[in-house]
């Protein structure tokens, strides 16, 4: 495994339990800068917990986690806030403020977390919305958007602070195959444009194989396979082989 010092993201012997339920058990893996990692597994196997540990919404019971070469498990809140600004998070439900327009949803973090002028904020919001195909929709509220447009809007908000690392939790959930493929294309364009490191939790194996450089497969709290699609297909673990070939 690449050391945390040289990886964009690294887990070292990370364990997490909720009461008697062991969700992650001695998990170790690394993500190189500019790499897209897809996290696969059945429901309840620790995939989303992995993302929550990365943004320190949860703390591991054991182990170390590096984000952009900084070990975060012992950080205080002020330090964590600084590290979190390096990351964007696309939630399953897009997590937009329903009372705000798309422009206002994207402008809010820029107003609170940067020193950009009003004109600079306008330019940044317009650019990001254009990139996700919503340039003509900035005055709309989330309730006026289709499911696919909401996902695009959630992605735009995740990208508006130009994060080095993007985390996405089930980005294709609830979308038809064509719309899901468009979201996949956005991930690929984002990586190509800014060398963004991307971690995607997904059940969509078709989309995962389209965008993923490597795959982390979880089963019952264990990381049972990690590698390219071809490597996972040759895994000794039956669950990993089945998951990578579904769809």
| 123-171 confidence digits (pLDDT tens) | 999 999 998 999 999 999 999 998 889 988 999 999 999 999 999 999 9
Lowest pLDDT segment from 100-104, 108-112, 147-151, 165-169 = 147-151
pLDDT of residue 174: 85
What is the distance between the alpha carbons of residues 99 and 21, in angstroms, rounded to a whole number? 38
Nearest 5°: CA angle at 54, between 49 and 59? 70
Residue 36 has pLDDT above 80, yes or no: yes
Tens-digit pLDDT profile for residues 211-228: 999 999 999 889 999 999
Residue 43's pLDDT band, with cuts at 50, 70 and 90, is confident
Report the greatest alpha carbon distance in the chain: 56
Residue 93 has pLDDT above 70, yes or no: yes
Q: For the chain, which residues make up each domain, given as ranges? A: 97-162
Tokens of 144: 């006026």
Q: What is the DSSP letter of 5?
A: T
């Amino acid at each position: 495994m690449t050391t945390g010092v040289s990886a964009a993201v690294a887990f070292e012997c990370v364990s997490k339990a909720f009461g008697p339920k062991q969700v992650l058990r001695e998990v170790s893996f690394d993500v190189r800068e500019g790499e897209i990692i897809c996290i696969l597994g059945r429901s309840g196997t620790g995939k989303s917990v992995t993302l929550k540990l990365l943004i320190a919404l949860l703390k591991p019971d054991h182990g170390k986690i590096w984000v952009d070469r900084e070990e975060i498990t012992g950080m205080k809140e002020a330090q964590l806030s600084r590290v979190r600004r390096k990351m964007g998070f696309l939630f399953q439900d897009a997590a937009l403020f329903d009372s705000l327009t798309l422009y206002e949803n994207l402008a809010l973090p820029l107003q609170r977390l940067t020193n950009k002028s009003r004109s600079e904020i306008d330019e940044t919001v317009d650019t990001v919305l254009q990139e996700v195909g919503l340039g003509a929709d900035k005055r709309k509220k989330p309730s006026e958007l289709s499911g696919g447009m909401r996902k695009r809007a959630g992605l735009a908000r995740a990208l508006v602070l130009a994060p080095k690392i993007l985390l996405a939790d089930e980005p294709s959930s609830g979308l038809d195959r064509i719309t899901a493929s468009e979201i996949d294309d956005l991930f690929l364009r984002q990586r190509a444009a800014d060398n963004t490191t991307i971690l995607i939790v997904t059940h969509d194996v078709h989309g995962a194989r389209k965008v993923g450089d490597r795959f982390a497969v979880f089963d019952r709290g264990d990381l049972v396979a990690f590698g390219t699609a071809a490597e996972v297909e040759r895994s000794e673990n039956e669950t990993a082989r089945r998951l990578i070939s579904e769809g």
